[in-house]
Chains A and B, each alone.
Chain A
Amino acid sequence: MSSSKVAIKVSNLSKRYMIGKQKDSSLRGTLSSLFKAGNSSSDEFWALKDLNFEINKGDVIGIIGKNGAGKSTLLKILSQITAPTTGRIEINGRVASLLEVGTGFHPELTGRENIYLNGTILGMTRKEVKAKFDEIVEFSGIEKFIDTPVKRYSSGMYVRLAFAVAAHLEPEILVIDEVLAVGDADFQKKCLGKMQDVANEGRTVIFVSHNMSAVKSLCLKGIVIKNGTLAYSGSVESALTYYNQASCNPNLFFNTSDFTKRSRGMHDIYIKSVEIDKTVYSVNSSISFAIVLDQTTDFVGKLNLAVFIYDSLNNVVYQLSTLLLGVEVGYNIERSYKFSCNELRLSGGVYKIGVWLEGNGLEQDYVDEDLYFEVDSSSIYPNKSAKIVSIVQREFDFQIVS
């Protein structure tokens, strides 16, 4: 392949982090390690291991993977924020990375001043910012407040202005992290639209998101990263299928006794595992949540359990809870519990599950990381092309009355 078609070429890329005691950023740590022979006690963690891939010019590529798979590390290396431990990357073209909107915004400065500040931080010259200034202000839709310090802005205005600056970068390669996780639904649509424009102009876009439907609608190619290695690379549909299958098998979404990392709760008893039957549901399928508990001390008493289902904007869509039912639940070692729901009735998208546990009136545990399921956006109705637009799709009837 001729190299002029390649936008990014990654070879043997690895990144190692030192974890545990020896990472030690204190002066004493370094001084004392000078007198110790061999730092054998240091723990290594390879966030990325031997990654090889190529991205062609004009590709719009989605990077998919679970939390902690190494996606963010990869983005950080591609955007030069941190250096790789081994390997080599060749990048042809100017890169702009958006790992966050509004980097460097200063609350005391006005909107106008922050446009210049943020623009130059993102790598534009003052001249370039000046040339685009009116466009940026118009896109943000906050002309009236442009000379007000941004600390007086609502968070929505703040994000709109920040994104407006970022949207007017003109790099050949755009690297985007989950910036879409901010703002309201309207704003997210606007962001997606702008990214679509960038992609349509034939520029290279690298996009990381948990929002599978956004990845699906925006990207043509997909890369799946698993435990720091490249698990799959191909078209976005096959990458998503691969990812879903990989996380379907086994059906446990979550199984760990590592409750110590969770900040909420007493942890006298804790959630040992949560299981659902599959990862992709259709709008009208039933769903069940099987929960297994364990204890750290001998626990006697009553407990309450709840399952929360969050949409991509972190709204609770459903709540399934023993409190609502008013049932008394006792605890037994390794006893398992199950909530079930006849019909999901949710529109297409990714939903997060949160499981909450209370024992003897005290909060014991709460888990919501890495617990996702997806609802297939294809319609269950006879007219397949009509889209479900609401979050919840009720069952309904229709009659012509007279």
Chain B
Amino acid sequence: MPKLIIDANKRRIIPDFKELFRYKDLFLTLSWRDFRVRYAQTTIGLLWAVLQPVVTLLILSLVFGKFVGVKTEVPHLLFTVAGMSIWTYFSYVMTNSGNSIIASQEMVKKIYFPRLIIPLSKAVVGFIDFGVALFILITLMIYFQVAPSSNIWAAPLFLFTGIIAALGVGIWLSALSVRYRDFQHVVPFLVQIGLYITPIAYPAEFATKQLPEWAANIYFLNPMAGVVQGFRWSLFGGTPPGQLMWVSVIMIGVIFITGLLYFNKVEKNMADYV
């Protein structure tokens, strides 16, 4: 028979991963629910998932490719969609997991389960966006007759890093916004500026060569800078991502781990604050 001890003096610092695993069915059910209801009651349904990235893509390509005249090794449209695929995943998951605890507050106040399941479960529904972007990407690759580079093996690694980055930021935001609703207003802002300060519609070198070295380091503190650059390199090859990419990767690790620890710290009393 299971034995449970609730002790006010003993607080765990590390999240209870065993318990988290026990609730894997809840994770699956919640992910699946998000899939089911995402386009419920919309007339054109999944078409929204296509329309949004296509329009963003065309605008970005128009501004950066035509107006600014950014030079890229592959056609600019293709270049941009590669970066955008992983960026849309990141921004969707970050936004939704960031808001997730507040959005599920009725549940949080009425029943116990590891709260971490809520932001984590948002990682799955984001694959709709990634899948759509990937589909556009492959279509354009066929159209422009660009073959994937020999670095393609690294693509899943960068995708995985992107997932961890999205969850890391999302977990931080979800925990913070329970206490400080201010962070609900930070999220759309982050998405907006992220689209420009991440090398999506231009190569990272384009930005770094115009910046002093210290500023280039700061540029790569943006966790997605390294991920987008690396993902694109794995698709099209070209100059491999430099050492600065590791700044992004280390940043992701730090954000994810501290996020887990902070979430774990505030989890116990979330129901009192939401």
Do A and B come from the same complex? yes
Whether the pair B112, A80 counts as a contact (CB closer than 8 A) is yes
In Å, the complex CA distance between A128 and B31 comes to 19
Q: Are B37 and A109 in contact (CB under 8 A)?
A: yes
Q: Mark A100-119, 1 if CB is under 8 A from B, else 0.
A: 10011010110001001100
Contact (Cβ within 8 A) A123 B113: yes
**Is the CB–CB distance between A83 and B107 below 8 Å?**
no
By the criterion CB–CB under 8 Å, are A25 and B181 in contact? yes
Known A25-B179, A27-B180, A125-B25: A79·B6 in contact at CB below 8 Å? no
Is there a chain B Cβ closer than 8 Å to A99's Cβ? yes
**Residue A120 at the B interface, CB < 8 A?**
yes
- Say yes or no for A378: interface residue by CB 8 A criterion: no
Given contacts A88-B5, A122-B111, contact A108 B268 (CB under 8 A): no
For A7, give the chain B residue with the smallest CB separation: B1
- Of residues 118 through 153 on chain B, the ones whose CB sits less than 8 Å from some CB of chain A are none
3 nearest CB pairs, A to B? A83-B268, A80-B112, A108-B40
Also in contact, A85 and B8, with CB within 8 A (given A108-B37, A117-B33): yes
Q: Is A93 an interface residue (CB 8 A)?
A: yes
Return the contact of B2 from the options A93, A109, A121 (Cβ within 8 A). A93
Any chain A CB within 8 A of the CB of B71? Answer: no
Asked if A126 CB lies within 8 Å of chain B CBs, one says yes
**Given contacts A83-B268, A88-B7, A172-B1, are A106 and B110 in contact (CB under 8 A)?**
no
Across the interface, do A82 and B111 meet the contact criterion of CB distance under 8 Å? no
Q: Are B111 and A84 within 8 A (Cβ)?
A: no
Given A82-B272, A90-B5, A121-B29, 8 more pairs with CB closer than 8 A: A30-B180, A81-B112, A82-B268, A94-B2, A103-B110, A103-B111, A117-B29, A124-B25
User: Could you tell me which B residues sit within 8 Å of A by CB distance?
Assistant: 1-9, 25-26, 28-30, 33, 36-37, 40-41, 104, 106-113, 179-182, 268-269, 271-273
Question: CA A172 – CA B4 in complex, angstroms?
Answer: 12
Let me know if B107 and A26 touch, CB within 8 A: no
Q: Inside 8 A of B110's CB, which chain A residues have their CB?
A: 81, 99-100, 103
Asked if A86 is at the interface of the complex by the 8 Å CB criterion, the answer is yes
A91 at the interface (CB under 8 A from B): yes
Which residues of chain A are near B28, meaning CB under 8 Å? 120, 126
Q: Which of B1, B7, B111 lies in contact with A121, CB distance below 8 A? A: B111
Q: Are A99 and B8 in contact (CB under 8 A)?
A: no
User: Can you list 21 residue pairs at the A/B interface with Cβ under 8 Å?
Assistant: A17-B272, A30-B180, A79-B112, A80-B6, A81-B110, A82-B271, A83-B6, A83-B268, A84-B8, A88-B7, A90-B5, A91-B5, A92-B1, A95-B4, A99-B110, A104-B111, A116-B29, A117-B30, A117-B33, A126-B25, A172-B1
Q: Are A77 and B2 in contact (CB under 8 A)?
A: no
Residue A279, interface by CB 8 Å: no
Known pairs A93-B1, A108-B37; A120 contacts B181 (CB<8 A):
no
Given A82-B268, A121-B107; A91-B4 close (CB under 8 Å): yes
Task: State A82–B110 Cα separation when bound (angstroms).
Answer: 10
**Cβ of B29 and Cβ of A120 under 8 Å apart?**
yes
